[in-house]
């Protein structure tokens, strides 16, 4: 069983696919499997993958279903204890997988890693995924969909946490694009403590046809639909894992990376939910104050980017 499963999702990115695959195969850390999920490409992607002769590479060819569908297929094919994700238009830099393994080993409580992104192609510069220990904020995720994360290619998670929210077949239609939001939220709902990988940054390609880079965020009906889908995802993950808001808030008090004032904002929105009882609101109020009185580990060490925004 390999230590790492790298899951590449591809749809009509044949012109970039070889570079993405070769960036993984060239890693100096060798204990990995590479799973390439082709999501119904109509270009030459299949021919490119069938020409790759490496026993570590496994291909999944499926009908087009979108990004979450590709994540589901890759996850079910994988066996590694650490899952690393890669979009087919991006690349891993030399030494990336070794750095991931070292970071997980050096931080025993780490369940999820976010990497910096070095932009190349039509843009340049480095985007940060935060710094140090980012914590675990499941209550704020469930209530406000607080987004503390990174794009798909800059994301890795321990399998034991991913198993708590993947696969998600029932949500595939709602998350044909930007399903990496579910990786970001799902990790914290599952209880994973996030860290930022200091180096090296993954190579994030900007080519003018990126689905979201440089484009405006969702607005209007589309934003409302996304929020509804996010709420469903959070409820479903909580139900599947026997979680309630009180348990999520206890976890956030103990391991959170947000400030107390930010946690209070989450609690205020929680109190406006029609789906929770007065008893639940009172219980969570006591837990919130208990975290303040007895001292939680929460601190303003993570960038809070709001409800579905990157």
State pLDDT tens for residues 95-121: 999 999 999 999 999 999 999 999 999
Q: Report pLDDT for 216.
A: 58
Q: Residue 8 domain-assigned?
A: yes
224 vs 33 pLDDT, higher one: 33
Q: Residue 280 domain-assigned?
A: no
Q: Residue 61 domain-assigned?
A: yes
Q: Residue 75 domain-assigned?
A: yes
Condensed to tens digits (0 to 9), the pLDDT of residues 3-24 reads 999 999 999 999 999 999 999 9
Token digits of residue 239: 């139900």
Condensed to tens digits (0 to 9), the pLDDT of residues 72-93 reads 999 999 999 999 999 999 999 9
208 vs 216 pLDDT, higher one: 208
What's the CATH number where 33 sits?
Answer: 3.90.550.10
Q: Report pLDDT for 210.
A: 58
| Residue 125, domain extent | 4-206
Q: Residue 240 domain-assigned?
A: no
Say if CB 91 and CB 115 are below 8 A apart: no
Neighbouring residues of 5: CB distance < 8 A, sequence distance ≥ 6: 32, 33, 35, 74, 78, 79, 80, 82, 83, 84, 159
Q: Residue 243 domain-assigned?
A: no
Neighbouring residues of 14: CB distance < 8 A, sequence distance ≥ 6: 41, 43, 44, 45, 47, 48
Q: Residue 185 domain-assigned?
A: yes
Q: Residue 288 domain-assigned?
A: no
Q: Report pLDDT for 15.
A: 96
Q: Report pLDDT for 49.
A: 96
Token digits of residue 53: 């002769």
The rounded Cα 81 to chain-centroid distance in angstroms is 16
Q: Could you tell me the pLDDT band of residue 26, with boundaries at 50, 70 and 90?
A: very high
Q: Would the pLDDT of 306 be above 80?
A: no
Condensed to tens digits (0 to 9), the pLDDT of residues 243-267 reads 999 999 999 999 999 999 999 999 9
96 exposure class (CB count in 10 Å sphere: 0-12, 13-18, 19+):
buried
Q: What is the count of structural domains for the chain?
A: 1
């Amino acid at each position: 069983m390999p230590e790492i499963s790298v899951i590449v999702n591809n749809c009509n990115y044949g012109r970039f696919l070889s570079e993405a695959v070769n960036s993984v195969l060239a890693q100096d850390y060798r204990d990995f499997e590479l799973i390439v999920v082709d999501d119904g490409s109509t270009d030459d992607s299949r021919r490119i993958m069938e020409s790759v002769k490496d026993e570590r590479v496994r291909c999944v060819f499926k009908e087009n279903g979108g990004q979450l569908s590709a994540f589901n297929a890759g996850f079910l094919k994988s066996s590694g204890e650490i899952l690393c994700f890669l979009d087919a238009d991006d690349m891993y830099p030399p030494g990336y997988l070794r750095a991931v393994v070292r970071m997980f080993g050096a931080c025993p409580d780490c369940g999820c890693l976010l990497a910096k992104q070095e932009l190349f192609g039509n843009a340049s510069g480095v985007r940060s995924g935060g710094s140090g220990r980012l914590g675990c904020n499941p209550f704020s995720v469930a209530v406000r969909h607080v987004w503390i994360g990174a794009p798909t290619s800059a994301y890795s998670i321990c399998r034991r946490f991913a198993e708590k929210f993947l696969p998600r077949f029932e949500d595939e239609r709602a998350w044909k694009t930007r399903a990496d939001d579910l990786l970001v939220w799902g990790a914290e709902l599952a209880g994973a403590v996030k860290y930022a990988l200091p180096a090296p940054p993954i190579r994030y390609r900007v080519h003018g046809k990126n689905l979201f880079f440089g484009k405006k965020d969702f607005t209007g009906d589309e934003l409302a639909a996304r929020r509804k889908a996010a709420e469903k995802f959070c409820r479903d993950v909580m139900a599947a894992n026997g979680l309630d808001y009180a348990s999520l808030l206890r976890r956030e008090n103990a391991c959170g990376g947000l400030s107390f004032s930010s946690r209070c904002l989450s609690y205020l929105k929680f109190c406006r939910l029609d789906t929770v009882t007065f008893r639940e609101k009172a219980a969570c109020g006591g837990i919130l104050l208990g975290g303040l009185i007895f001292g939680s580990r929460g601190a303003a060490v993570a960038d809070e980017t709001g409800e579905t925004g990157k």
